Homo-oligomer: A and B are copies of this chain.
């Protein structure tokens, strides 16, 4: 059975949305149901998976029956999954397994997060930190500091500079300019990044992804052609873990679970990184995109910045990464992030991505990770 994505939707990601969390969620549910080419009835949806990170952010819980009621089929079943910033990828993993094992025919996945209404960044940080290892939480280490540890070790080991990291931000902001769904459509230069304040040395404000509000959704089906003539097939999904704490790893310059999850996705799909035409990767911080290149096999160890300087991952390059603008410019409403990656690749592989369309994209890959890579989901799609 070839499981396919038959519809997808995303709200605009915003630095501060006027909508409540449940309104964002409702928009994503209704938008996704309406996005299916040949139409889909709520009666056809037999399972709902909701992706959301924190109820401290979102203020609502037990959203599965609410989504079921919006879908309108009272016998549909639902649940919420959470794996930090990889919640959306995890929802894809669960939905795909429900369909390929015959437990469901059509699954609606929706992800959402409402982050902007926290009174101060201290509150936001406290919630984000809860995704770390208990010992990291106890010592009060925010994620930017944990990624700064990784960045420092990586720069020392491979002679990579702060300017190299800045290139990731410049590229993704350039891409985001072409995406009407992106939260921060602002062209930036290396100088802008270098002049932005340190959040945790060597990582600066412009090395960091955006706190945003947003929601996204998609529907996968065991009979995709029933709902659209141009489904996007899910060729393989991998889910892997690393130690939850950075301090427990033999080499902190690796994000090991990206390699493990991509190996699994490639094994199942009988594809390799060579086959992939477009990628959405989890640029929570600039350093994570460079390491992702290496873990996915786009670049050798320590050569992430090199392939970026060579233009390979630019929008116009051989392997465009984050044509959407990524977490950096499009935004990172946590529960929506991985779900939105599926939506972006659905549009890219159907040739519907407008100004940000990657030419002749036939196969796409998403990499969505949680914490400092404690959970990673990699999926490969084909039109």
A interface, CB within 8 angstroms of B:
20, 22, 53-56, 59-62, 64-66, 68-69, 74-84, 90, 93-94, 97-98, 101-103, 127, 130-134, 137, 239-244, 248, 260, 370-371, 374-375
Contact = CB atoms under 8 A, between A and B. Distances in A.
B375 A69 contact: no
B370 A241 contact: no
Given A55-B56, A137-B60, A66 B244 contact: yes
A371 B80 CA distance: 14
B64 A243 contact: no
Contacts of A97: 98, 101, 103
A101 B96 CA distance: 13
A17 B301 CA distance: 47
Given A77-B239, A83-B79, A374 B65 contact: yes
B134 A66 contact: yes
Given A62-B132, A80-B81, 6 more contacts: A55-B56, A55-B127, A62-B130, A65-B371, A65-B374, A79-B81
The 9 closest A-B pairs by CB, nearest first: A62-B84, A65-B374, A62-B131, A101-B101, A22-B134, A61-B130, A65-B241, A65-B244, A80-B82
Given A101-B102, A127-B55, A130-B55, A62 B374 contact: yes
Given A55-B56, A60-B134, A134-B60, A375 B82 contact: no
A79 B338 CA distance: 15
Nearest to A241: B65
Number of this chain's copies in the complex: 2
A71 to B, nearest CB: 10
Contacts of A101: 97, 101-103
Nearest to A256: B74
B77 A240 contact: yes
Nearest to A98: B97
Nearest to A20: B134
A132 B22 CA distance: 12
Contacts of A374: 62, 65-66
Contact of A75 (B22, B66, B240, B244): B240
A12 B121 CA distance: 37
16 contacts: A54-B61, A55-B130, A61-B84, A61-B130, A62-B83, A62-B84, A62-B371, A66-B244, A66-B374, A69-B243, A74-B242, A80-B82, A80-B83, A82-B82, A97-B103, A101-B102
A80 B64 CA distance: 14
Contacts of A56: 55-56
Nearest to A70: B244
Contacts of A102: 101
A62 B370 contact: yes
A69 B244 contact: yes
A371 B65 CA distance: 10
B74 A241 contact: yes
B133 A66 contact: yes
A133 to B, nearest CB: 7
Contacts of A98: 97
A29 to B, nearest CB: 13
A348 to B, nearest CB: 27
Contacts of A248: 69
A286 to B, nearest CB: 22
Contact of A55 (B54, B76, B79): B54
A241 B68 contact: yes
Contacts of A242: 65, 74
Contact of A241 (B77, B130, B131, B239): B77
